[in-house]
Amino acid sequence: MGPLSNLLQNNRDWSDRIRSGDPEFFTKLSKQQNPEYLWIGCADSRVPANEIVGLLPGEIFVHRNVANIVVHTDLNCLSVIQFAVEILKVKHIIVVGHYGCGGIRFALQKTRLGLSDNWLRHVHDVEEKHASFLQKRDDLDWQQDRLCELNVIEQVRNVCQTTIVQEAWERRADLSVHGWVYSLRNGLVNDLSLCATSSQHAGLVYEQACEQVHRLP
């Protein structure tokens, strides 16, 4: 048995299943991709974007990194957003965090990881911004869940503030930015009721979403 032969066999089985349901699926897929959604999520292997929302390949454009962070100096992430918005014409950008995120936990516990600490500094910034709220309960699991939510809200704001999204809204593109948190405990998505549709609207929904989390017991 050769290296990775199990994965190669899984690929053949998957391809056979897809073609048995739709013999023309791969022919159509190879000609174009026309997704309506850009998913910005965590690199965690337990969070498969397509499967969570029941979409097939070609129906969702995906960017992933540790702790689903959007940084204005990250040309990788910005290039994905630009390609999705200006080339693919997606209608929805969804920032998706997940409860039980290792990056969030390590940042909260200030665990030293090495190079990754520099990346997770962005999560530390969110934690410091909401420190008085997060410290009101001496419960690490609760703090981690709330920081997951607040981190998503902050990254939604960062997406809205990119020149790409700002310019799309200026030309009245049909584009909205959303914030979700996926639960590994039950497979369900928690919609944070955060949906920005314009530059003016983005600031308001950001404040409302933060206030909603801060009201949680």
Just list the catalytic residues: 42, 44, 46, 98, 101
Place of tokens 């997951």: 148
In the DSSP assignment, the letter for residue 175 is -
d(CA 38, CA 59): 9
CA–CA separation, 83 and 98 (whole Å) = 25
Phi and psi angles of residue 92, each rounded to the nearest 5 degrees, phi first: -135, 130
Q: Please report how many Cα atoms fall inside a 13 Å half-sphere around the Cα of residue 198, on the Cβ side.
A: 5
Residues in the chain: 217
b (16+ CB within 10 A) / e for 90-100 = bebbbbbbbbb
Under a CB-based contact definition with an 8 Å cutoff, are residues 113 and 102 in contact? no
Per the CB < 8 A criterion, the answer to whether 164 and 85 are in contact is yes
